[in-house]
A and B are shown apart, each in its own frame.
Chain A
Amino acid sequence: MNKTGRNGGRGELLVLLEAAQSKSAHISRDTITELAESLDLSIGEVYGVASFYSFLSTKPQGRNIIRICKSLPCLLKHAQTIIDSVRQEIGILPGETTPDGRFSFELTNCIGACDKAPAMMVNSDVHGDLTPKKIAKVLQAYK
């Protein structure tokens, strides 16, 4: 039951990738190779899973990941002004990481906080009812 199996085998791949992501802020080539060997899978197969999910990254990321929701309920509540303020505050564009490695900046699809739109996530924390004025203060907490 190990290769296809429920415990310890392939069924653990996503869990293991999620653990690597949260430990090292990305999934390195070494991690992919090690997982492929230990689960008896091809490197391509592990990479295929690692690159499928938007919360997993095969490139190094910053210590804190900002994800601003760009789906309609947030856009209706001026999410663009939040995107602009974050861009000004940390000086990078979506898809980039600050040179000091403090922040990675992404736009994301609906995070299920539409009742608090506009909303964003920083790491696992959800921040809602945002205004451009609140941005600096929210980001201050993340070193």
Chain B
Amino acid sequence: MTPFLRRPRAARAVLSATAVCVLALAGCSTDPTDPDGSAGAPAASGADTTLRYAVAGSPATASDDPHGGLGNESDVLRFALVYDVLTVHGDDGGAEPRLATAWEPNETMDLWTFTLREDAEFTDGEPVRAGDVLHSLRRIGAKAAENYGRLADFDLENSRVVDEHTVELATRVPMANAPVALASITFVVPEGTEDFTGEVPGSGPYRVEESAADTTVLVRNDGWWGGTPDPGRIEIRALADPQTRVDALLSGAVDVAGSVAPTAVASAEEKDMRVVRRSGVTTYPFIMRTDTAPFDDPRVREAFRLAADREELVDTVFLGYGEVANDLPTPHDPSTPTDLPQREHDVETARELLAEAGHADGLTVTLHTTTSYPGMDTAATLYARQLEEIGVTAEVSVEPADDYWTTVYAQKPFYTGYYGGISFADLVRVGLLSESPTNETAYRSEEFDRGFEEAMATSDEARRDELLADIQRELWEDGGYVVWGTGDGIDLAAPHVHDLPDGPGFQRMFIDRVRLEG
């Protein structure tokens, strides 16, 4: 027999065994009559409610540094619970207060004053000061190579501490959406912290009690300013394989399985599990480098867009848990124009365009993809078949997930991308400006750059969104994207878990409002 066949089964057997042990433990430590728990008592006291969350993550790429790449969801979940952030994403796509209670820009929108709350303190008893915030932001800025220049537009050297609870942040260009750009990722650590191998005090709702390669145990931080979260304990279980997370939930080993494949929904619903759909979460765009033949010809790009049978792609790749998209990379962003006609599946026009571009006899391209996220390979395989109809032979190349994002992404002429709920402005900064660090479509348009700059200098929100919509129209017309649909993010939870966040981005990691009942 083949060894790789045995692996999933063995994993499942181990899992079931783990499930039994964990269930037994959970049985001892769950006492619903005392949801608040006893203050500061260790979790083993038997008076706490525990939430066990299976989240994507692999011990091999785990990191303790909250200012680095944030590639592991399990790490982000831990950071979101242990550290405070300046702002979080609101339901409307704007920013909501968290550690920062208020913010105010100057006239030119390139200097922002953030006021911090005064009752936040780290687990070592020290208050959270403006210096801690600036130190943390500067660390994020310094690690630009790891985090794709997340704060590249902030001029952190020229930012300064005004007083204990006020910080002034300078931006390199006018930046009207600065509070959103800072949302959910600005994890604040004590000033001077550079070493994260040991225990680092945080000011978030939980603190780390126990940390191991694949399981982290957090206990409630009773000194947190934001009230008393319901779960007294949160166990974060990092499981790389989505199906393993589902199995862990169905066998009772965990209470929440984060980011699962749509194939898992049917079996979970049979067992009365809660299904949380976060719309517009997953996008697998096909990305064409506009500086490389044959994609340097706009007619070829248009033909490739017309070749996509979007309904078939959404129904197959996301099993219908998603929506058709219109070649705009962030269809759920508040700035996305709604007046553009939906680009339809039009084989005939596509063939004509290819012929005009000199490819009447057909065209052979390689479409790169990987298995990093469920369905990426399926999407590419199906789209390659759809391209056949317009006379394009697309050879699918499934690359190892390990180095796809360094050797294929933003390098090969034609490849499958992934967005997990990024905002339009963020995407523009990291991937669409002429000088972007990872210009994924090799897009160089002065008009686009200028339009974005102007939008970011506009304080009126409606006007700003209109300017951003304009540059998206240009992208719709001329960009290097085939954005055929968005898939729902799907989390599964046991029936007693309520109020899991359902926003598209990192806000799903802020689970301090979750209630356990029944």
- A associates with B: no
